[in-house]
Structure 1
Amino acid sequence: MFGSRSARLAETPPPRGARIAAYVLLLVLGMATALAGSFAQSLWFPGGLLLALAATVGLFYGGLRLTTTKLGAGAPLIGWFLALMVLMSPRPEGDFILASGIGPYVYLFAGAVGGVICATLPTRTMFGFGAGPGGAGRG
Structure 2
Amino acid sequence: MSSSKSTGTAPARGVGGVSGVEVPFTLSATPARVVVLVVLFLLGALVGVAGALLQGGWFPGGLLLALLAAAGLFHGGARLTGARSGALAPAAGWLVAVILLTTSRPEGDFVFGAGVGSYLFLLGGMAVAVMCATLGLSQQPPASTARLGK
Q: Is the 8 A contact 1:41 1:107 kept in 2?
A: yes
Q: Using CA pairs below 8 Å that are at least 6 residues apart, which structure has the higher relative contact order?
A: 1
| 5+ residue gaps, structure 1 | 1-9, 125-130, 135-139
Find the aligned partners of 2:24 and 2:65 in 1 and give their Cα distance: 29
Are 1:98 and 2:129 matched, yes or no?
A: no
Q: CA deviation at 1:103?
A: 0.4
Are 1:24 and 2:34 matched, yes or no?
A: no
Structure 2 counterpart of 1:101, which letter?
Answer: G
Distance 1:52 1:45, change over 3 A: same
| 5+ residue gaps, structure 2 | 1-22, 143-150
Q: CA deviation at 1:18?
A: 2.7
The residue correspondences of 1:4-23 to structure 2 (distance < 5 A) are 16-23=30-37
SS at match of 1:123: coil
What is the TM-score when the length of structure 2 is the normalising length?
A: 0.72
List 4+ stretches of structure 1 deviating above 6 A: none
In the comparison of the two structures, how many residue pairs are matched?
A: 119
Q: Percent identity?
A: 45
Structure 1 counterpart of 2:64, which letter?
Answer: L
What is the TM-score when the length of structure 1 is the normalising length?
A: 0.77
Q: CA deviation at 1:132?
A: 5.3
Q: Which residue of 2 aligns with 1:61?
A: 75
Selected match of 2:62 from 17, 41, 48:
48
Q: Which residue of 1 aligns with 2:145?
A: none
